A and B are shown apart, each in its own frame.
Chain A
Amino acid sequence: MSAAAGQSSATGGMFISRAQATIFLGGALLFMLLFFVGPMLMVIWSSLQPPSGGTFANYERVYNDGYYWRVLLNTLRISMWVTITTFILGYTLSYYMNFHLKSPMARRAIYIIVVLPLFTSNIVRSFGWIVLLGRDGLINDGMRIVGLTDGPVQLLYTSGSIIVALSYVMLPFMVLTVNSIFQNINPSVIEASRDLGAGPIVTFLKVTFPLSLPGVVAGSLIVFTLSVSAYVTPSIMSGGRVAVMPILIYDYYMVQLDFSMGATLAVLLLATTIAIIGVYLFILRRYSNR
């Protein structure tokens, strides 16, 4: 193959001919076009094919009916609480792991414990919470023993139980993101702060925390978007009493068999996700220009 055809990249690397490059990249590209872009376009198209009314009939329906807005709000509200909870829990753990914990073995063990739940299905993780939060579950038992309550409290099938279980599912993402930021903080900076007379709390507030902010924002973004899109955990933990967008989508597709309406809601969920990412990128740009 011709070296003179300008095929070597400016950065180096072996020589790859145009034909070879096309094959290497083309397979994956074709696959994604066929089975990702195609289906996505299908959904968008379907949302514009309502069984009755004009092309945008579904969108009008969603816009006009307060129910959908409430579901959206509920989804966002739950996601917000999940993000706050995972931030508090996750930041604490990550801070401890990176600044207080000495033993490398303990760090490794905690790391494995953080990552392990990610390798189990979220149905399994949610099931664990059903057992824990049930009327005969460990939490209720514990509260009774300690004397907080007399009889079993209805913990399950509330918004609260969704938030708890979803926070559990999302926590590792927050921990991992904040971890990677902490590891990039130059320890000399902390020492410099102490050297200049700042106590541990002031150092945290004025040095450590601000430096970790990008990780916090990134972690929050990940947790929030995943929470908005979550189906399994809210479905299991709500027992049909609480609705979030993904549950509604499932309902339209699988129960009511109204693909078009389901597609509309899917498009809206997608739009919401993209909007959240857009806000994040906007904040990122504002923040880094300060």
Chain B
Amino acid sequence: MVNTGRSLDGTSERPASIIEIDSITKKYGQYDALHEMSLSIQKGEFLSLLGPSGCGKTTLLRIIAGFLGPTSGDLRIDGRSMRNVPPNKRPVNTVFQNYALFPHMTVVENIAFGPRRQGRAQDAIAADVKRVLGMVGMHGFEDRYPRALSGGQQQRVALARAIVNQPRVLLLDEPLGALDLKLRKRMQFELKRLHGELGITFIYVTHDQEEALAMSDRIAVMRQGRIVQLGTGEEIYHRPNSAYVADFIGEANLIACEREADGKFRLPGNSTPLPLAGPDAPAAKLMIRPEDISFGTAEAGQIGTTATIVQSVFLGHWWRLSAMLADGQEIVICPRDNTADTPAIGAQVPLRWSQQAARMLGE
């Protein structure tokens, strides 16, 4: 894990930024795929661009790779502006979503393609190919054609083909999407290991927040062409800056609260004011993670409320209870102790959680 010590908005104190995205906008007609996006990517980090489809993450990746040009703004790699630099001249390599292996070439020919274009010597290329095949565990597949490989195998060849060129930055466009769950988990581990071994910067596009959390040093959560929050997985999980981010990463309760006449927020049906600062608006959402809620009356430093149990499901490593607050809003509780007695359906129970764990968030 590359150590942190960076401020929350991503601008680094150290001069180790390898990619500078400087206020990049990409317009399609009236539509903004990316809106004045600025981001500083650190050398050697594993950064994920996380968001739903249409948020612009793939657009940003393609701009970095050079397949799209920004409408305005600049992209700098290693301090050098990439304006007017075509994709084949950038120190960047891409692992494509559906691998894009050359079907008419063998595995070796696919991997050797990049080095050959660079004009390297035959034996040097052969050695590199061999080394890289070893790294991805595909020894023995040298003369196979892509159609004779499984999805996971193709994926590894695509990876090998990209890294053999020793790019400064490796771009990965949802490479694990087509794999089944078990394989995906294994490949996540493999990718993380490779990242450590190679020491190069990885920029990873995904819509799967679990994947992003598992592999990344930092995550940029995107929405409609903008970065909504940038930080480590922990930062984003425990201190989301908006309801959108809180909801996107993990599961979160987002309870709508009103700001009363005295300027403080209150939970529905509660008269106790919430000791939390919130956005400057008449209403906001209280975020609390289901696993942070327990049963009982609130003590010092805690917030409490009551709710009626509506449903309870045993999921193995925990119980998931769904309850209803005074105004009908749902609250989900996943108590950490899965052996304790769970309240019955219809029971009115007191709930409590620590103030530290809760946040007042706007959209």
Direct contact of A and B (CB under 8 A): yes
Binding site for B on A (CB under 8 A): 1-8, 10, 12, 15
Q: Could you list 27 examples of A-B contacts with CB < 8 Å?
A: A1-B86, A2-B69, A2-B83, A2-B84, A3-B66, A3-B67, A3-B68, A3-B69, A3-B82, A3-B84, A3-B86, A3-B87, A4-B69, A4-B83, A4-B84, A5-B69, A6-B69, A7-B69, A8-B62, A8-B67, A8-B68, A8-B69, A10-B28, A12-B67, A15-B66, A15-B86, A15-B88
Contact with A along B61-89 (1 / 0, CB 8 A): 01000111110000000000011111110
Q: Which applies to chain A's interface (DSSP): helix, strand, loop or mixed?
A: loop
B87 partner residues in chain A, CB cutoff 8 A: 3, 15
Alpha-carbon distance between A119 and B84 when the two chains are bound, in angstroms: 51
Beyond A3-B69, A4-B70, 13 additional pairs, beta carbon < 8 A: A1-B86, A3-B68, A3-B85, A3-B86, A3-B87, A4-B83, A5-B69, A8-B62, A8-B68, A8-B69, A10-B28, A15-B66, A15-B86
Q: Which applies to chain B's interface (DSSP): helix, strand, loop or mixed?
A: loop
Nearest chain A residue, comparing its CB with the CB of B82:
A3
Report the minimal beta-carbon distance from A56 to chain B, rounded to whole angstroms.
47
Alpha-carbon distance between A33 and B238 when the two chains are bound, in angstroms: 67
Alpha-carbon distance between A10 and B68 when the two chains are bound, in angstroms: 8
Alpha-carbon distance between A15 and B66 when the two chains are bound, in angstroms: 9
Query: Which A-B residue pairs are the 5 nearest by beta carbons?
Result: A4-B69, A2-B84, A3-B66, A8-B67, A3-B69
Nearest chain A residue, comparing its CB with the CB of B62:
A8
Alpha-carbon distance between A73 and B86 when the two chains are bound, in angstroms: 62
Alpha-carbon distance between A2 and B84 when the two chains are bound, in angstroms: 4
Report the minimal beta-carbon distance from B348 to chain A, rounded to whole angstroms.
53
Report the minimal beta-carbon distance from B178 to chain A, rounded to whole angstroms.
17
Interface residues of B in 276-299 (CB under 8 A from A): none
Binding site for A on B (CB under 8 A): 28, 62, 66-70, 82-88
B70 partner residues in chain A, CB cutoff 8 A: 4
Report the minimal beta-carbon distance from B197 to chain A, rounded to whole angstroms.
31
Alpha-carbon distance between A19 and B115 when the two chains are bound, in angstroms: 28
B28 partner residues in chain A, CB cutoff 8 A: 10
Alpha-carbon distance between A10 and B31 when the two chains are bound, in angstroms: 14
Alpha-carbon distance between A5 and B62 when the two chains are bound, in angstroms: 14
| Best-buried of B28, B69, B70, B85 by chain A (most CB within 10 Å) | B69
Report the minimal beta-carbon distance from B44 to chain A, rounded to whole angstroms.
26
Nearest chain A residue, comparing its CB with the CB of B66:
A3
Alpha-carbon distance between A12 and B59 when the two chains are bound, in angstroms: 12
A2 partner residues in chain B, CB cutoff 8 A: 69, 83-84, 86
Alpha-carbon distance between A10 and B29 when the two chains are bound, in angstroms: 13
A7 partner residues in chain B, CB cutoff 8 A: 69
Alpha-carbon distance between A1 and B69 when the two chains are bound, in angstroms: 12
Alpha-carbon distance between A4 and B71 when the two chains are bound, in angstroms: 8
A12 partner residues in chain B, CB cutoff 8 A: 67
Report the minimal beta-carbon distance from A116 to chain B, rounded to whole angstroms.
31
Alpha-carbon distance between A10 and B67 when the two chains are bound, in angstroms: 9
B82 partner residues in chain A, CB cutoff 8 A: 3
Alpha-carbon distance between A12 and B28 when the two chains are bound, in angstroms: 15
Alpha-carbon distance between A6 and B70 when the two chains are bound, in angstroms: 8
Alpha-carbon distance between A41 and B256 when the two chains are bound, in angstroms: 72
Nearest chain B residue, comparing its CB with the CB of A4:
B69
A4 partner residues in chain B, CB cutoff 8 A: 69-70, 83-84
Report the minimal beta-carbon distance from B337 to chain A, rounded to whole angstroms.
52
Alpha-carbon distance between A12 and B67 when the two chains are bound, in angstroms: 8
B88 partner residues in chain A, CB cutoff 8 A: 15
A5 partner residues in chain B, CB cutoff 8 A: 69
| Best-buried of A1, A8, A15 by chain B (most CB within 10 Å) | A8
B69 partner residues in chain A, CB cutoff 8 A: 2-8
B85 partner residues in chain A, CB cutoff 8 A: 3
B62 partner residues in chain A, CB cutoff 8 A: 8
Alpha-carbon distance between A7 and B69 when the two chains are bound, in angstroms: 8
Nearest chain A residue, comparing its CB with the CB of B28:
A10
Report the minimal beta-carbon distance from B92 to chain A, rounded to whole angstroms.
12
Nearest chain B residue, comparing its CB with the CB of A17:
B86
Alpha-carbon distance between A197 and B68 when the two chains are bound, in angstroms: 57
Alpha-carbon distance between A1 and B85 when the two chains are bound, in angstroms: 7
Alpha-carbon distance between A8 and B86 when the two chains are bound, in angstroms: 10
